């Protein structure tokens, strides 16, 4: 548990960005946000990996953050993905997000440049210096080929604005070391749906979820049960939904979740290249799993 300002506990959804004819479909997006809030989600993450931030133009990125803040209207925290492998641009985007009312920012580990640990610390500290809102780091080595070291985390935890991290590394041992090293300084959130309970069992305070795009009530309930002390029931739900969680990552996120949402009538499955639709055989594999959970007929 961090001694700093906490952004949220429980489940936040890394929301998709719906497209129609090549542009953001704000009518559909607004309905998605309302569905999330109505079903008890604890936070909204806009412009994350699931939101296809990498293919949004600068104007689109800024506009959808501002739209999200206005639409959510303080009902739950809005966390804006403002990370970049260009520190100056990340600062610019982070300032904008805070200026339009985002409650916190999510800053991903720089990709492609492959910074040194010294560079990482400088990068994140400069971003945190530039804003007056809480900063969540996002460590996802599978996408960036770069891991924030424990020593770097300890250094970054000294910054008053850096309050937590979405941890999506593969090692529970590493995450345990992180929690031990930064106890009282950083809140940890699971970056993977398939390990919500395992991470909460060692001190994480919630999840930034993909599956909650279609099951906000269920994922919120899972985290709520754990936080209220019903570990057994939370673990049962973790196992109950595990096959569905895994199905949403049968290929690169957000392809499966967008395919699922289209099948359920939330939005079109349109994505921006280089992301593209799955083969029909893979669609059927996904739909079969969804049928087992009564999400579709």
Number of domains the chain contains: 1
> What CA–CA distance (Å, rounded) separates 286 from 289?
5
- Specify which residues 12 forms β-bridges with: 43, 208
Paired sense of beta strands 206-209 and 135-139, if any: unpaired
Contact by Cβ (8 Å): 44, 72: yes
pLDDT tens column, 177-236 = 999 999 889 999 999 999 999 999 999 999 999 999 999 999 999 999 999 999 999 999
CATH of the domain at 97: 3.20.20.70
pLDDT digits (tens, 9 = 90+) for 269-286: 999 999 999 999 999 999
Specify if 249 maps to a domain. Answer: no
Residue 246 lies in a domain: no
Listed in sequence order, the residues at least 6 apart from 207 whose beta carbon sits closer than 8 Å to its beta carbon are 10, 11, 12, 189, 190, 191, 192, 193, 196, 199, 219, 223
Q: Is residue 1 part of a domain?
A: no
In a domain, 210, yes or no: yes
Q: How far apart are CA 123 and CA 135, in angstroms?
A: 13
Q: Is residue 190 part of a domain?
A: yes
Q: Is the pLDDT of residue 1 over 70?
A: no
Is 5 part of a structural domain of the chain? Answer: no
Mean pLDDT of 149-175: 95
Positions marked catalytic: 138, 166
**Which residue range forms the structural domain that includes residue 114?**
10-229
CB atoms under 10 Å from CB of 62, counted, come to 20
Is residue 3 over pLDDT 90? no
CA–CA separation, 98 and 132 (whole Å): 7
> From the CB of residue 86, how many other CB atoms can be counted at a distance below 10 Å?
13
Cβ atoms of 263 and 287 within 8 Å: the answer is: yes
The reply to whether the predicted model has a pTM over 0.75 is yes
DSSP 8-state secondary structure symbol assigned to residue 197: H
Q: pLDDT digit string (tens) for 83-109?
A: 999 999 999 999 999 999 999 999 999
Q: Is the residue at 14 inside a domain?
A: yes
Structural domain includes residue 168: yes
pLDDT of residue 67: 98
The 10s digit of each residue's pLDDT in 12-63 is 999 999 999 999 999 999 999 999 999 999 999 999 999 999 999 999 999 9
Give the chain's mean pLDDT: 96
């Amino acid at each position: 548990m961090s001694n700093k300002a906490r952004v949220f506990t429980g489940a936040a959804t890394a929301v998709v960005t719906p497209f129609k004819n090549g542009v953001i479909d704000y009518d559909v997006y607004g309905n998605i946000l309302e569905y999330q809030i109505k079903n008890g989600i604890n936070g909204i993450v806009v412009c994350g990996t699931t939101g296809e931030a990498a293919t949004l133009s600068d104007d689109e990125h800024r506009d959808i953050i501002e739209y999200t803040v206005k639409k959510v209207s303080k009902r739950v925290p809005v966390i804006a993905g403002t990370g970049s492998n260009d520190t100056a641009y990340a600062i610019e985007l982070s300032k904008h997000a805070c200026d339009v009312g985002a409650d916190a920012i999510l800053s991903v580990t720089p990709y492609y440049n492959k910074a040194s640990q010294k560079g990482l610390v400088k990068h994140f500290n400069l971003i945190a210096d530039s804003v007056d809102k809480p900063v969540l780091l996002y460590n996802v080595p599978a996408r960036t080929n770069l891991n924030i070291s424990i020593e770097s985390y300890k250094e970054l935890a000294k910054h008053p604005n850096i309050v937590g991290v979405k941890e999506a590394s593969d090692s529970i041992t590493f995450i345990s070391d992180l929690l031990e090293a930064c106890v009282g300084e950083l809140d940890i959130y699971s970056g993977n749906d398939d390990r919500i309970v395992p991470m909460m069992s060692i001190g994480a305070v919630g999840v930034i979820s993909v599956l909650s795009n279609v099951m906000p009530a269920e994922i919120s309930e899972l985290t709520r049960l754990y936080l209220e002390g019903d570990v057994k029931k939370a673990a049962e739900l973790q196992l109950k939904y595990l096959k569905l969680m895994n199905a949403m990552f049968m290929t690169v996120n957000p392809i499966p979740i967008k395919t699922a949402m289209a099948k359920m009538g939330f939005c079109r499955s349109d994505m921006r290249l280089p992301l593209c639709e799955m083969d029909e055989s893979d669609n059927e594999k996904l739909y079969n799993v969804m049928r087992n959970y009564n999400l579709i007929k």
